Every structure is written in structure tokens, then in C-alpha cells.
Structure 1
Amino acid sequence: MPGPVSAAALSRRNILIASGATALGAGLGFALVPGSGDATAVPPLAEPVTGPASGPPAAPTSPAGPAAARPYTAGTTLHSVAAPRGRGGYRRLGDGPGWKRVTRTELAAAGSGRAARRTSLSCFVQFTDLHLTDVQNPQRYEFLRSAAPAGWRPQEALTNAGAVSLVERVNALRYGPATGTPIGFVMTTGDNTDNNSRIELDWFLAVMSGGRFTPDSGDAGHYEGVQDSGLKGFWQPDAALRDLDKAAGYPRLPGFLAAAVRELNSPGLNVPWYSTIGNHDQLYGGSYAASSFFHDLALGSRKLFWLPRAEAEAVNAFLRQGPDPQGTRFREAWNRYKSSARTVTPDGRRAPVTPREYIAAHLDPAHAGAGPVGHGYTTAELDSGRLHYAFRISDGVLGISLDTTDRGGDYRGSLGTDQLNWLDRTLTAHADDTVLVFSHHPSWSMTNLVRDPARPGERRHGGDEVLALLGRHANVAAWINGHSHKNRIVPHGTFWEVSTASHVDYPQLARIIELTDNHDGTLSLLCTLVESAAPYRTDLSDLSQTGLAALYRELAFNAPGSRATLSGEPGDRNVELLLKKR
């Protein structure tokens, strides 16, 4: 992975120029003509907004583009959703009925005729919890599956193929389904990777910005993980062994592992994209603070595949119930059973990534894609190592990206005092803007107050304090997040909290969000879920890139121990969320 980019090579001004030059349609406001679906473009911002007094840089803008398309449903879950066929055991997927849009009025009444009057303020897509995974990394704890079937996912080797297919879906849509406004950008809300490793970060940047990459580590072209271990606790796709998953109906697929580590080609998003960090992007296994033990484990040649059930149950209990931020119980179990660890090929690309390295990778011009250079991060963040920032979405709309990962350890989140105060100041400085806040953790998962070892004198603040702060600022329209892998939308007095399901667990979704002014004293957030572009029906003999993406979805649906409730209730899926315009 390239080293840090120098400040001289990428000044803040250069970043703004580069981002503006590659933009496609972000920052445009569209006044929808009643009954026609046509639009008139509002002139873009004349100059980027810079400097501490006037706020963050402007989003990339472009001259007025083509008129907005008509509202549509094709390619979204309004039209159809993957659905199982048959009964019992391993079930194949096909197309099922779509999910209707539900109007939610807990925060404001729905005025008649608003669809004909509304003006589009923004249209973007949220990706969350891609969990691009190096399945051969020695620091992974697949051995928890001996305690619970959901401790390991049979589909994990195909995370990259699935993510590329999601990019293909967004590129094909181009417009928001409710207003026909061009999609301005994509925001990831964390857990972009799974093991906080350089190689996974490289894969993520290639998926988002485009390019060829090989989702393989260790011995090139030779898979060295639990799926060729001969252990019955894991799906052995190439072998005739009757393992746990084949007993549940999983097929035998000779050639699967060779295909899973084969080169992929991502077209990259054709719109700008921004990045928010999650706990798996910065903590070992998404849970444990930095230590020499985990660093050496990731770079080493010994991988523990299995633990006795009682031992795995104890490790899992500490992991889930905690706090065990340093992974003490994990280390004890690993050391107790290290004699049964297997030898794998070490790979220096599995090295953990520091906050500054994470920012530097985003700033690398090779990963600029459709822009902006840095994907939200600038040389200011590179100098400070901080991973929160604000950015201009459109004229009158501001985005704020938070870093809710607690580097003291634990998968749950919180904010440090410095960031909480920065959030308060930023909201105050932009009182005239409508603000969308992005983070990885939702409010209900921000309960970890372990202090950051790098800032032992700083308090941590949980979700209740963040909700209270956001509630004091009438300009906040929504807090958009992920982490829980479940669709859930909660009203909070004056704003909505929108949490979206992951793309690693079924139903593997992303969310289009269209913000509109209804010109009756209300705003609407029109949210529409989308699946990847992979076909619903799989051909088990098709191990092409597209075939693997389709198989990724079907394996996830059938994964033992998977939760059937992650799609949420109808009011958490395709919705119109009304709120009062301040």
C-alpha cells in the first residue's frame, strides 16, 4: 500500500480543485415540475466554501445537467426483493414482491399535494457494513463457530464480489427513484473492511474507485483458510465431506475456492463517494485495542481454526458482554490451544492500519475515482489523525461524518469530548443549513465508555448524550448510520435516526436517500432500499464474477444462525419520513 501523501503534493486547495474537476451531478437542486417529472436546475455554488469561518469545502458541483428522470421502481426493492423458493434445507432464491413505501408522520403531518410541489435538496446512496474480508487472516476468530453457528459466515469469501455488484447497481440507477434527481454521491458508514488490515483497505478503495484487484493473501492463488481445513464445522465447498453446512443443504461446489481468490474488476462508482470509519476498520476483529499480540498474530504464520465448544463460549461471552477491550480472554484461549494452530503463509499486507495511514490511503490520487480526492479527508485530517469532518452536500445542506469507534476497545461506540464539542460548534456555525449526520454506530450501540489509551484524560460520551446534543440543534434532519446490520428507523423529536442493514448479512442492502423541501413547512426524507445487481437466481456451475455475486446473496440467506429479522419492519424499509422545516 502506498505510504502517506505529503502535504506539498496534496494541499487543501489541490484537493478541492481535483474534486471539482471530477464531479458528476452532486450539489444540484432540482425543482420538480408538477406531473411531469421534469426539473429545472438551480445554479451550482460559484466557489468552494473554505476556511474555518465559513465552514467545510463545498461538494463537487457541475453545470446544469439533463432534466431529472421520472420516478421509477425498477432496480429497487419497490419493484422486487429476493425471495426464497421451496421449503426446508438450503433454499434457492428468485424474485419476490417489492416492499411498498410507507409514510411516517411521527414528526410532521403529511400535507396533500406535496409531491407536486417538492424541490429536491439532495440525493445520495448509503453503503454500510460491507465487511470486505481477508478470510485467510490469522487474527480472525472463526473458531467461535464451535459455540454458535452464526460465529462464522459461509459467504465471507465472496464479500468483494458482492460489493462490486453493489457498485454496479448504483451506476445503473443514476437517479433517485422518488424524485428522479441525479444521485450526487455515495456515503459509506463504516465497517468497510473486517480486520483492520492494509490489504482489505486496498480492496475497499479498488471496489469504490475502480480497478482490478485480487481478493487473496498469503500463498498467491492458493486458499489457506477454514474452508479447505477438513473440519466439519465449516462448509468445505470443494470436498465431498459432509460438513455442518452440507448437512443443512449447502451444495458441493468444486472450484469454488479457486474462484473466490481470483482477480476481480470493479468499474468504480460513477459518482463521488465519501468515507466514514467503523470499528472493524480500526480495531482487531472490530473489538480489540491495538497491542503487540494482535499485531504479531496478523503478520504471523500460525492460524487457530477451532476451539472446544466450552472455550469458544467463554471467549464469545467476553466479546459480546464485555468489557474485554484488550482481548485478554481471547489471548488466553489462543495461547492455551496454540499447539493446535495450523501453519499458513504470512503476508505483510495484513498489517494493521493507523488512523493516519487510513487517511493517507484515501488521499492517494490513484484511488480518487469520481472524486473527491480524499473522499472527505483532507491534509488537515492527515496532519491531525482525526477521522471526523464536515462537507458541503449542496447549497443549504451540510454533511457531518463522525468517528464513533472507541480505540480503547470493544465493538460498541462512543464519542470523545473533543469530537462532541466539535460537533456542537459545527452545528452552531451552520445553523442556517439543513444537516445530515453520518456515523457507523447508532445511538443504541453507543454504550462503550472505555477511555482511549492515546487520550486517557478525555471522557467518552454515549448515544444518549449525542441524541441530546443533536436535539438541541433544530437544523439536524437525520442521523444516518449502520453497525447493527438491521434496518431500523427511529424518530427523535425533531430529527430521524436512519440505520441500514449490512451488505454482508442477508438481505444485503444499501439505501438511497432523497431529501426534499415540500414547500408547506415540512421536509421529506424519501428512503429506498436497493440490492446488488447480481441476478436472484443462481447457476451453481457459474463461478464467474457475476455468478459469485449471486451466490454471495444465496449463501447469506441460507447461513446457519442468520437472523430473519434484519430487513426490519415495513416502516424501516422504503419510507417517506416527514419532519418540520425549521
Structure 2
Amino acid sequence: MTEFDRRTLFKGAGALGAAAAVGAATSKAAPLAYADPAVGARAVSIAGTTLEAVGTPASTGVRQYRRLTAGAGWPLIVRSELAAAKAGRDDRRIGLASIVQTTDIHMVDAESPVRLEFIHPQNGSAFRPHEKLGAAATVTLIERINALGSAPFNGRAFDCVVSTGDNTDNHEFAELDWFLTLFSGGSLQQSTGDLNRYEGVQVWGSTLYWQPESSVDDIYKQKGFPQIPGLLSSSIKPISSPGLDTRWFSVFGNHDDSVSGVVPSGIGFIDALYTGNIKLDVPKNQAAIDRVATAYNTAPGSVAKVLAEQVQTGPIRRVTPDARRAPFTPRQYMAEHFRPRYTGPGPVGHGFASHAPQSGITYYSFQIAPGVIGISMDTTNHAGLTDGSIGQVQLDWMEKLIIAGSRKYHDRSGKLVTHEADDTLFVAFSHHTSDTMGLPIPDPEHPFERRNTGAQLLDFFHRFPNVVAWVNGHTHENKITPHRGRTAAQSFWEINTASHIDFPQNARVIEVNDNKDGTLSVFCTLIESAAPYEVAYSDHSVTGLGSMYREFSYNDTGYDPKRLGTSVDHNVELLLVKPN
């Protein structure tokens, strides 16, 4: 029986959309994308992955609120847009690399004075009802990764974990400590200010926020959110993380560099607000709320002025000041990764070069496995704003790195060059996606350096047949895109994965395999945390809090079904031509 005979070919949007879970919208199927019913036979093990089961909303609930349950696993979709899928490749397949991608962890200091939760109707990331449970939920994600230990298709033990940015939410030292402790192992307390009581907006009695411990009829309870006595008290208790068993690497995101991922650092008034005792309450009128939201969303340079005015007009709340809320710089971010208590399974510095805290170089390369090199890019704009770009100096460094590992490549003029070299496969990692890098504004440290867009970065990667994939986050969405070059050999895949903070809260196992037939297969398998899909609301263990974190994220008023992606963005085998 041929490969084509035993597969189900999908040509229409409806069939692919129907295979997606949790109400994802359908979309046009990519050519030659088909579901493989033999996934169980092809995999070493699908246990613990979304091939086995997926969190799915119950059919009914209180008002619009839904609890989650175990739904049918997502299928394996074979995507042969960039190379043909040849029969018998499973018998020849050799696993070259096994990677886990986590992204957009967003460790949140939910009591921080610089968080402006009242703009969440205009900017959903300003407040999430589940954000206080993030540390517990990340423990359950780490438990899942450790329990799996190896890739589902090639069976290779994980070579590394790569966290592709927005590891913190508001680039505070406290948030960075929590993230580094979670990944490296140790005890932490997701709280600032008065460590014995929660001082954030969820006890203020405002109907604009979920008030889990009171009977206030807030907009979340009107949707069906429960009242849970003691939840906030439980959320600030110390917890322990086992840390990852696998060495891990850290990538910059815009939230790791800017206030709320948008406003540039180093503004005196805002920096003082971080560590002070004033937190803005809900403004008295909608016009004031809109003014703050507009500044954050479209004119971040004006945020300091707008906030200063709002502090004067009020209303304000007094909170316990905390020096640990101070924002860090990119150099300080990298320096923290070198502290011995954060080494965990290594490597020391988690990818950053030993001189990086002094030089300010925020990008690096690392060996994933023999013959497979990772490139950690910094695509953030250090001048602020959400979208990204990449500096020319970084691009020149990448060019030299990839050329050194390429037997064939195209120079800047497009001419094919062949030289003596062993072909190395490259997997690039960044925070931003190709279509969220349209803001080439100058870097404050290098104001005269050219900045490049996502389209220019795509053109750059097309020059090198041994660039296999570009892996990223930022959009909080599952999306996998084929990028065709002028020749089949110049093509590669862009792999975008949903966040850990917003539903569906996925991480992704990425495997690079040599099919020994002139093609490579990159298997991508989504995973969820180890927390059960449903627990009693009285279960305030780490596991219970991790489960509620997922459930509340699905029911968040800011939930966007688009983030789920469709079948072609979930569990996939991505074919491409092997460089030769």
C-alpha cells in the first residue's frame, strides 16, 4: 500500500476545522496536508501529549462558564507542502534532535503598582482572573516535561528546553526570580509587598475584576465564575518547584524588556512607581480610562505623563512598597541567569555568553545535538512597543555562523556558493513572529544601526538550505507556516506556539529527523501541563491551583478562540528537503 493510499487527504477547510477542538474557527487547509490515522503505530508513545487527550469545555455550564474535561486527542497532520512524504520513512528515520519549546510564561507580579488592570477591557493582558496562580501552573508544566522525558516519535531524550520570551510580565526582578527558580528548581512565593496578605485588585470590591473570595457581583461572576474562599490566600503561599530535568535556554521577549511589554524603561517617574506605595484605582470616568489605554496601546512615550496626571487626580490605593519590584535592564536580565542558585541542569547562563552582561549582546548560538545548532535571536525593540525587528550587527553575526556550517548557500546577491564545510542543521528561536516584526525603530544603545523587519529576516533565512525551522511565540497562538524559497532546498517552516498564560496553554515538543531518503521530518507535538482538567474548588494544592489556572483562562473574558489554531497548527509532521 502506498503512502498516499493509506492517508486521508484534506482539501477543504471544513474537514480540518472539524478536527480542531474547543471551538476553533475553521480555515482553509494548506495543500497536501492530511491526517494520518496510523499515528499510534508511528509514534514511540503518545502518552501525556495532546495526541492522547486535550482539555475540552463541557457542553453545558453555569451561564457562559464551562468547566473542562478530557476530550479526544488531536490527530497527527502530515504537511508535505515543502517536500513529498515518501513511503517507508518511519523504518529509516534517525532522530537528530529533540527540543521542548515553552513560551510566554508571563510570571506576573499581580500586586505591582505599575500594572493598570482597569484597562483590561481595551487590553486583555492588563488583567487576567487566573494570573495569581501562575507559579503553581508553571510547576505542573515542568512536571509534564519531566515526566515525558523524551520525544513521542523518535524517542530521543530531550536535548534541551527553550523558553522563547516573555518569561516575565512586567520585567521586574521579583518576576525574574520566580521564573528562574521555577525552571531551575527551588522554593518561591508569588507575592510582593506584604507577603502575608494579597494587596491587589481582586480584594478591592470592584466589579471590573473577579473578586473570588467575596460575594461581589463582578463581571466575571456574571459570566459564571465561582466564589472560592481562601483562593488568594493560597495563591501567595510558598511553593516548591522540582525544576527542569533538562538543560534549558532563555530568549528575550518584549515583556522582558519593557513596562507591560510596551513602554520603554528608564523613565524616572515609572521606575519610582514600581517600588513605591501608590497603586492606581479605577479612574472616576471612562474618559480617563480611555486616555490611559490609548497611551499604552498607541503612544507609549506619553505614558509617564498620563500616569503622573492620574496619580494627581486619583483615586489611588496605598500598598506596601517593595524594592524587589524594581525593573531590570537587559544586562541585568542576563546577569541574573548566571547566579549559582539558578543554574539547575545548566548550562551556566542558560545560553548567554559569559561576557554578555558586560557587552550587552543578547543573542547567542548553542549546540542542540551533534550536527544541530540553535540560534537564539533578540527581536525586541529596546525602545519599547510591542512589535519587533532585528539589528544588522546581529544579522551579520548569524550570516557568519550559518555560512561556517553550510556546504552550499546563496550570497547576498543571490549567487549559489559552494565551499568545504560539513552541513549543519540550524533551528532559529525568537520571541516575535515574521509578521510581528514590522517596527524597525532604532535601538537606543545603537541609534545608527539598521534594523530589519520580519520580511527581511525571511529573505535572509531563504539563502541557507540548512535552516530547518524558525520557532517563536509572542502572538499566544498556535500557527505553523511553510515558507517556500526559490528552490525546494531554500524552504523552511515557521513554528509559532501558544502561550502558557492564555488558553490553550500549550508547550511544544519539536523533533528533527533524517528520513534517509533526501528529506527531513520535523515532528511537532503540543503538550499541556500535568494538572488534571477539573478539580474541586477546595483543592488548593499546587496541582489544584494549576488545574484552576487552565480552567479560568478558558473562561476569561479576554479569551480568543483564534489562539487555539486549527489541526494544521497542532500535532504535525513537517516535511522538507534535506540539504546536500
> Structure 1: which 5+ residue stretches go unaligned?
1-68
2:446 to 455, 463, 466: 455
1:479 to 470, 483, 489: 470
Taking structure 1 as reference, are residues 304 and 94 closer, same or farther at Cα in structure 2, changes over 3 Å only? Answer: same
Partner of residue 12, structure 2: none
Provide Cα deviations, 1:298-317, integer angstroms capped at 9, x if missing partner. 11111113233333334434
Partner of residue 72, structure 1: 45
Where in structure 2 are the equivalents of 1:213-252 lying within 5 Å? 213-252=188-227
In structure 2, C-alpha distance between the alignment counterparts of 1:274 and 1:145, rounded to whole Å = 31
Taking structure 1 as reference, are residues 330 and 143 closer, same or farther at Cα in structure 2, changes over 3 Å only? Answer: farther
2:312 is aligned with 1:335:
no
Partner of residue 319, structure 1: 296
In structure 1, C-alpha distance between the alignment counterparts of 2:558 and 2:353, rounded to whole Å = 41
Contact 1:154 1:235 in 2 (8 A): yes
SS of 1:244 mapped into structure 2: coil
SS of 2:249 mapped into structure 1: strand
Measured after TM superposition, the shift of residue 151 of structure 1 is 4.4
Measured after TM superposition, the shift of residue 333 of structure 1 is 4.7
Aligned residue type for 1:302? I
Contact 1:150 1:562 in 2 (8 A): no
Measured after TM superposition, the shift of residue 527 of structure 1 is 0.3
TM-score by length of structure 2 reads 0.86
Using the aligned pairs only, state the percent identity: 44
Measured after TM superposition, the shift of residue 459 of structure 1 is 2.2
Measured after TM superposition, the shift of residue 474 of structure 1 is 1.4
Partner of residue 506, structure 2: 509
Number of aligned positions between the proteins: 511
2:292 is aligned with 1:295:
no
Contact 1:315 1:330 in 2 (8 A): no
Contact 1:165 1:533 in 2 (8 A): yes
Partner of residue 180, structure 1: 155
Partner of residue 369, structure 2: 394
2:186 is aligned with 1:211:
yes
SS of 1:562 mapped into structure 2: coil
Measured after TM superposition, the shift of residue 85 of structure 1 is 1.1
Measured after TM superposition, the shift of residue 325 of structure 1 is 4.1
2:96 is aligned with 1:121:
yes
In structure 1, C-alpha distance between the alignment counterparts of 2:106 and 2:124, rounded to whole Å = 19
In structure 1, C-alpha distance between the alignment counterparts of 2:106 and 2:121, rounded to whole Å = 22
In structure 2, C-alpha distance between the alignment counterparts of 1:472 and 1:406, rounded to whole Å = 25
Measured after TM superposition, the shift of residue 286 of structure 1 is 0.5
Measured after TM superposition, the shift of residue 453 of structure 1 is 1.8
In structure 2, C-alpha distance between the alignment counterparts of 1:278 and 1:159, rounded to whole Å = 18
2:561 is aligned with 1:564:
yes
Contact 1:158 1:548 in 2 (8 A): yes
In structure 1, C-alpha distance between the alignment counterparts of 2:370 and 2:150, rounded to whole Å = 19
Measured after TM superposition, the shift of residue 240 of structure 1 is 1.1
Partner of residue 258, structure 2: 283
Contact 2:504 2:564 in 1 (8 A): yes
SS of 2:564 mapped into structure 1: coil
SS of 1:91 mapped into structure 2: coil
2:497 to 483, 490, 500: 500
Measured after TM superposition, the shift of residue 177 of structure 1 is 0.7
> Structure 2: which 5+ residue stretches go unaligned?
1-41, 407-422, 485-490
Contact 1:146 1:312 in 2 (8 A): no
Provide Cα deviations, 1:279-333, integer angstroms capped at 9, x if missing partner. 101111110111112211111111113233333334434433x3x242x046315
Partner of residue 47, structure 1: none
SS of 2:221 mapped into structure 1: helix
Contact 1:398 1:433 in 2 (8 A): yes
SS of 2:509 mapped into structure 1: strand
In structure 1, C-alpha distance between the alignment counterparts of 2:103 and 2:560, rounded to whole Å = 18
Moved more, 142-151 or 341-350: 142-151
Partner of residue 446, structure 1: 437
1:145 to 107, 120, 134: 120
Measured after TM superposition, the shift of residue 181 of structure 1 is 1.1
In structure 2, C-alpha distance between the alignment counterparts of 1:409 and 1:198, rounded to whole Å = 18
Aligned residue type for 2:352? Y
Measured after TM superposition, the shift of residue 229 of structure 1 is 0.8
TM-score by length of structure 1 reads 0.86
Contact 1:363 1:378 in 2 (8 A): no
Partner of residue 95, structure 1: 70
In structure 1, C-alpha distance between the alignment counterparts of 2:478 and 2:558, rounded to whole Å = 18
In structure 2, C-alpha distance between the alignment counterparts of 1:559 and 1:453, rounded to whole Å = 37
Moved more, 97-106 or 558-567: 558-567
SS of 2:305 mapped into structure 1: helix
Provide Cα deviations, 1:115-142, integer angstroms capped at 9, x if missing partner. 1101000001000000010000111121
